[in-house]
Amino acid sequence: MINGVLAQETAWPSVSPEGGTFWLPPEASSAASYTDDVFYFIYWVSLFFFVLINALMVYFVIRYRRRTADQRAVSGATHNMRLEIVWSAIPLALVVAMFYMGFRGYMDLVNPPSETLEIHVLAQKWSWNFTYPNGHDDSELHVPVDHNIRLTLTSNDVIHSLSIPAFRVRCDAVPGRYTHLWFRPTRIGEYLALCSEYCGTTHSDMIARVYVQDPAEYAKWLADVSDPFREHSFADVGRMLVARRCSSCHSIDGRANVGPTFKSLFGREVKLADGTTVTADENYIRESLIYPGRQIVAGYSPVMPTFRGQLKDREITAIIEYFKELAE
Amino acid sequence: MSTAAKTHASLTDTPQAHVAHHFHTASQQFEAAVQGMWIFLATEILLFSGLFCAYAVFRTNHPEVFEYAHQFLSKPLGAINTVILLCSSFTMAAAVWASQHGRRRTAVALLCLTLLGGFGFLGIKFVEYEHKWKEGLLWGIHYQPHAENASAAAEAPAVAFGEPAVPAAVSASENIDAAPAETGESDPAFRPASLGPPGLRRTAASAAPRTEQQVHNVQTFFGVYFLMTGLHGLHVIAGMALIAWVAWRALKGAFSPAYFTPVAMVGLYWHLVDVIWIYLFPLLYLIH
Amino acid sequence: MSVIDPTVPTALPSSAEDAASDNYLTRPSGLRSWLFTVDHKRIGVMYLVSILTAFLLGGIFAILLRTELLGPQKTVIEADTYNQFFTLHGAIMIFLVIIPSIPATLGNFVLPIMLGAKDLAFPRLNLLSYYLYLGGALLALLAIVLGGVDTGWTFYPPYSIEAAPYNGVIVVLAGVFLLGFSSILTGLNFVVTIHKLRPPGMGWFRMPLFLWSLYATSIIQILATPVLGVTVLLLIVERTLKFGIFHPGLGGDPILYQHFFWFYSHPAVYIMILPAMGIVSELVSVFSRKHIFGYPFIAFSSVAIAMFGFFVWGHHMFVSGQSPLVTVLFSLLTYSVSIPSAVKVFNWLATMHGGSISLKTPMLYALGFVFLFGIGGLTGLFLGALATDVHLHDTYFVVSHFHYVMLGSALIAMLGGMHYWWPKITGRMYSERWGVTAFVLVIIGFNLTFFPQFIMGTHGMPRRYYNYPPEFTFLNQLSTIGSYVMAVSFVLMAAYLLHSLVRGRRAPANPWGGATLEWQCTSPPPTYNFETPPPVRDPYDFRNIEYDPASGGYRRIVPVPATVSKG
């Protein structure tokens, strides 16, 4: 496999863009600031005890250093009940505080407000698919700033996990059930969503752009992409679809990747793993999208997920038209 | 043959012949063996606990699956097996007693009786398994019940193993005009566990067993059934091997009131095998 | 005036020479006598060799991984290879190295001697444990040859059932099953030994703390490992026979697997750390030449950690989709385990206060433990808190946290124990200078490797990533350099330890001045440990142990009434 998605295209957004601290990304959601408060509380308490313990250790080593082999201990103390109680009670109080703070933040993270914009997320090896309220599917997550966004996640195959570090949110996408996460983005900009549950070969390239936009811009974008056929030719729509849904595994410039290249594919004779040969015509393209396991190209692994239920007939036609263009 | 002195032979006033070099007395050695064996039994219980837990989770989430599927188990056969194991536990305990009291022939006879019980248990299990095999009542993907078991034409698992089982309403986009009618997308034979049961739709007439059409994921029950009884069966076989070994040694005169530890240990193991079945039987066979 | 205690063999030259030629290593001789041995000391040595070999193998995978991560895109290996390597690195290090580590090696060797006993309760079972370990190890390694495994050491379904393209999965799982039983039988053996083979006069509260820690560890091994056994069994039948317990396509539940898996794997981390803490208790006391502070608290804290450890497994699953109620409960319970751990650290510090502190190599490792466990344990607090865990779960923060506690704490303590008991096991002293050098390199290399990973994690870099966003390049490169430094330090350590076997000074019976019973037999011990059981005394009372310049070690004296020492 050649270089992954981050090397194929330029200008992916940062995981942790400018504006953060030494430890943390900038706070781009409403929940982020409380999460960071919890983080820093634990951090300073930990730092205090760490310095205390190690300073004492170093001090004792120096002060009570054994200078001759037969030097004996100075003190015979073996226990002190009061000390045991104090140094159990104080840490106990502190960790209970940590628990409580974490709990409060978590309650906010799992209880979305009643007014939310619902977006469905489908995870599959190795891409994210976001379905907007009007039914449009996209590989990018666009959200209007200062709105409550609720994501409903599921997976088509194995467990994945959607993580957006700038928002401090994360949730597993589990096949066979729905999970949820919500956030309120507070900062316009570009962010990155990553898969954070190991899911196979290109787990580390299963990333998605996240755009936090002005609500008017968001609305315009959604309208534009929802019906690309209005403004674009079939082949153009096909090109956009391929760039969004297929490029993590297929190239268009002739390089081999997880899957075969699309360059000069259409109309060509394709050698399959079982030794037979087929022509890459319309039926072949359609079959590969719906039943990818039926005709594996020789030299490649059977890892392509199915797009049944995810691509409309018109979109499949658009992809076929684009391939015809690529073959010219 | 047995005098009061012999029957009350204690362990501490015996020759040290059987005592390993790192033990001081025979009784210390015996107590260590007993403690070790009980700990091992605890680990066996924990081994089964995972299966009992899986049972509990699946039954709590899908009681209708268990209510429907357990009808295919034969209560009489299960009950007979229970009695067989209970009796064999008794003969085993008696064999330990006989060993402890130097009754060599009695011990061997009782051990053989116990072994016979084991064979009987396995024989009945074979009959049950064979029945399930013939009827296609197997686990997971192999669950392919024959038509007479269900009032509707039950289909083989429709979703090919490895293909996605997407909850129905994820995407609002139009479905592709799918090629061969595989299965109704809206009602696959396999429903992901977390979606919950389709509802307890009892028809007016229905004290009768639920039909295949109404109950999904029946293969889950059989998966649990075969796993639990299968693992138990393996332990029965292991126990029988141990009993045979101990019977052979007893025949050779290896045991005496001073040293009968292996018999006692195998006895403990066999009792565990019995106890596990005592739990399995009602959980699998006697569901209401 | 003092009188040398006649019940103890002195470290006079003649005894040392006798010990050199006639001990558990030399007699009986021959390969068969080793392969079929039931001597706990020989079994401990065999475990040590096997486990260190596995550590080398797991370490090689680690170096390969870190080398690939020098650049954000492909550097030296393909993605599939990388994924297999991190799986094997994890599985080898956890199942073949760190879980058996201290109990199987140092525990096997030292436990009976510390009890004044001749062997463990079930010596043949001990040998069986070893061969189960070897069998499991060979199976797991066979997986490499049979096509590999790339599921991660956690084997989460559905990936491990259907998508993982390699059949090595089943072989590794079978290996894990055998390794599990090895662990169970060792734990069983230790528990019965401690219950039944304690000498007269050694009540529970007169046992060395290392034994308390091994006891608590053994309880966990006995109760938790069977659940791992049934879990891998279920995964094997799921994959081969398509049972449908975990696969949602067949009506199963993948999250059920996570519950089963972590029900063992969380207590497993306490199997790793408790013996390590037990060793630190011994080292801190002996090398401060002062009675351990708060003995009952340290003893009970081991048991408390073992107990509480069973109730917190869900903290690995906060974002898995389990219910919020259960999530909150697990978070609260998780903090309960932190308190006994803190109590131990404070008691060790109090032990050092007013002591006579010697910075020999074993003590350096004990102090290193306090430093690194401080970081490892405190970073656990971030993960126990729900809000922060949502942000940090499955990032490099977690990777760094567990390396600080597993490698930086548990393994460091094992190294300390190895250096401490090395004279007893081998009869040789190693070079103190090289010991210190390697220690310093380990600490530097370790922190350079793993501290940058905390920063990567808080900024969002996920774990198990073959490619990574270029903004993390510098931190990854720092980390890789650190791993190379660590590798050098381990090579150095192997070198001077192996060198000591042929050229090291012959060790006295008690080179460090310990008061536990193993220092009262020769170095190395005879096959039967003690001709007559030594009298039982307080294991942390150093008042009657004095330095003997003639042998370069310590010896026990009997105080004469006129000059009874009170210090």
High-pLDDT (> 70) share of chain A, %: 97
Joined tokens for residue B8: 């009350």
Q: Give chain C positions within 8 Å (CB) of B35.
A: 191-192, 195-196
**Which chains are adjacent to chain A, needing at least 3 Cβ pairs under 8 Å?**
B, C
Compute how many other C-beta atoms are within 10 angstroms of the C-beta atom of residue C125.
18
Average pLDDT, chain A: 91
The CA–CA distances, whole Å, from A278 to A257, A269, A272, A285, A320 equal 21, 6, 7, 11, 16
High-pLDDT (> 90) share of chain B, %: 48
**Which chains are adjacent to chain C, needing at least 3 Cβ pairs under 8 Å?**
A, B
The pLDDT value given to residue C518:
94
**Backbone φ and ψ of B260, nearest 5°:** -135, 20
Distance, CA of B263 to CA of B261 (rounded, Å): 5
| Cβ-contact A202, C79 below 8 angstroms | yes
Mutate to test the interface with A, among C65, C74, C319 (most CBs of A within 10 A): C319
**Stronger pLDDT, B144 or C367, i.e. the higher one:** C367
Would you give the DSSP letter of residue B149?
A: G
Each residue's pLDDT tens digit, A140-151: 999 999 999 999
Each residue's pLDDT tens digit, A37-88: 999 999 999 999 999 999 999 999 999 999 988 888 888 889 999 999 999 9
**Backbone φ and ψ of A292, nearest 5°:** -65, -20
Question: For B180-200, what is the mean pLDDT?
Answer: 36
pLDDT tier, A248 (very low <50, low <70, confident <90, very high otherwise): confident
**Stronger pLDDT, C365 or B198, i.e. the higher one:** C365
Each residue's pLDDT tens digit, B104-134: 999 999 999 999 999 999 999 999 999 998 8
The CA–CA distances, whole Å, from A240 to A11, A162, A257, B79 equal 18, 23, 19, 67
Joined tokens for residue A314: 């018109």
| Cβ-contact A290, A315 below 8 angstroms | no
Q: DSSP readout, C293-328?
A: TTHHHHHHHHHHHHHHGGG-GGGG-TTTT--HHHHH
User: Residue B188 pLDDT more than 50?
Assistant: no
Distance, CA of C382 to CA of C19 (rounded, Å): 52
The pLDDT value given to residue B176:
29
CA gyration radius for chain A?
27
C343 contact A CB<8A: yes
User: Residue B210 pLDDT more than 50?
Assistant: no
The CA–CA distances, whole Å, from C196 to A226, B33, B36, C120 equal 76, 10, 10, 10
**A-C contacts at Cβ under 8 angstroms:** 317
Q: For chain C, positions 124-163, list CB contacts with chain A under 8 A.
A: 150-152, 156-159, 162-163
Q: Report the length, in residues, of chain B.
A: 288
Nearest by CB to residue B140, choosing from C120, C121, C250, is: C250
B200 contact A CB<8A: no
pLDDT tier, B147 (very low <50, low <70, confident <90, very high otherwise): low
**Backbone φ and ψ of A175, nearest 5°:** -65, 140
Listed in order, strand segments (DSSP E) in C317-374 are: none
Question: For B75-87, what is the mean pLDDT?
Answer: 94
In sequence order, what are the residues at sequence separation of 6 or more whose Cβ sits closer than 8 angstroms to the Cβ of residue C145? none
The pLDDT value given to residue A6:
64
One-letter amino acid at C420 equals Y
The CA-based dihedral angle spanning residues A298, A302, A306, A307, taken in that order and rounded to the nearest 10 degrees: -50
User: Residue B213 pLDDT more than 90?
Assistant: no
User: Residue A14 pLDDT more than 90?
Assistant: no
The pLDDT value given to residue C7:
54
CA–CA min distance B200, chain A (Å): 21
Each residue's pLDDT tens digit, B23-73: 888 899 999 999 999 999 999 999 999 999 999 998 998 888 888 888 888
In sequence order, what are the residues at sequence separation of 6 or more whose Cβ sits closer than 8 angstroms to the Cβ of residue C316? C258, C262, C265, C266
Each residue's pLDDT tens digit, A156-215: 999 999 999 999 999 999 999 999 999 999 999 999 999 999 999 999 999 999 999 999
Question: For B240-254, what is the mean pLDDT?
Answer: 94
The pLDDT value given to residue A5:
65
User: Residue B186 pLDDT more than 50?
Assistant: no
pLDDT tier, B181 (very low <50, low <70, confident <90, very high otherwise): very low
User: Residue B206 pLDDT more than 70?
Assistant: no
The pLDDT value given to residue B175:
29
Each residue's pLDDT tens digit, A94-114: 999 999 999 999 999 999 999
The pLDDT value given to residue B204:
32
- ∠ CA C484-C490-C494, nearest 5°, is 145
Q: Give the chain C residue nearest B142 (alpha carbons).
A: C242
High-pLDDT (> 90) share of chain A, %: 69
Report, as ranges of residue numbers, the positions in chain C whose pLDDT lies below 50.
1, 9-14, 567
**Backbone φ and ψ of C245, nearest 5°:** -80, -40
The pLDDT value given to residue A1:
33
User: Residue B200 pLDDT more than 50?
Assistant: no
Q: For chain C, positions 439-458, list CB contacts with chain A under 8 A.
A: 455, 458
